[in-house]
Amino acid sequence: MASIGTIVTRVYTSRAQVPIQGATVAITQKAADGRSTLLAIRISDENGRTSPVRVRTPDPSDSESPGNPVGFTSCDIWTEAPGYETSLIENVQVFPNTETLQELELIPLPEQADPNTTMDRVDVPPQDL
């Protein structure tokens, strides 16, 4: 039986963590066949935060024994905002009955840069459970 976890994002720029309002955040999940399913699209608020997205996760009891599946599900997060590089964070782990906060730092584009040719890509390694 599946459980539910949630994921919330916070979009910001610079070391001062200045929030970015109006960023588009798309949360997807890869299927076994390699295709991605769109789970939700959110727009960041004045604090750079998005509303929670509910994500189906494995039941916690499914991962209590060796050899059983991992105790989380993975999502990818695409983020874009005018004037910033597009960001892709891969394999963000969402755990059952837990709210995951994913920080999303966007890098400002240099003047006259083509936003379609720049992307910041990060792959999150699995948790050592």
Question: For the chain, what is the total number of helices (H) and then of strands (E)?
Answer: 0, 9
**In this structure, is residue 94 part of a structural domain?**
yes
**In this structure, is residue 52 part of a structural domain?**
yes
> 64: domain range?
3-111
Instruction: Give yes or no for a contact between 39 and 94, defined as CB atoms under 8 angstroms apart.
Output: no
CATH, residue 70: 2.60.130.10
Q: What percent of the chain has pLDDT over 90?
A: 60
Determine the pLDDT at residue 60: 77
Choice between 88 and 61, residue whose per-residue pLDDT is larger: 88
**Residue closest to 52 by CA, chosen among 7, 95, 85, 91:** 7
Please, which residues bridge with residue 42 across strands?
Answer: 25
**Residue closest to 115 by CA, chosen among 24, 14, 48:** 24
**In this structure, is residue 118 part of a structural domain?**
no
**In this structure, is residue 89 part of a structural domain?**
yes
Q: How many separate domains does the chain show?
A: 1
pLDDT digits (tens, 9 = 90+) for 29-46: 998 888 999 999 999 999
pTM (2 d.p.): 0.80
Determine the pLDDT at residue 110: 83
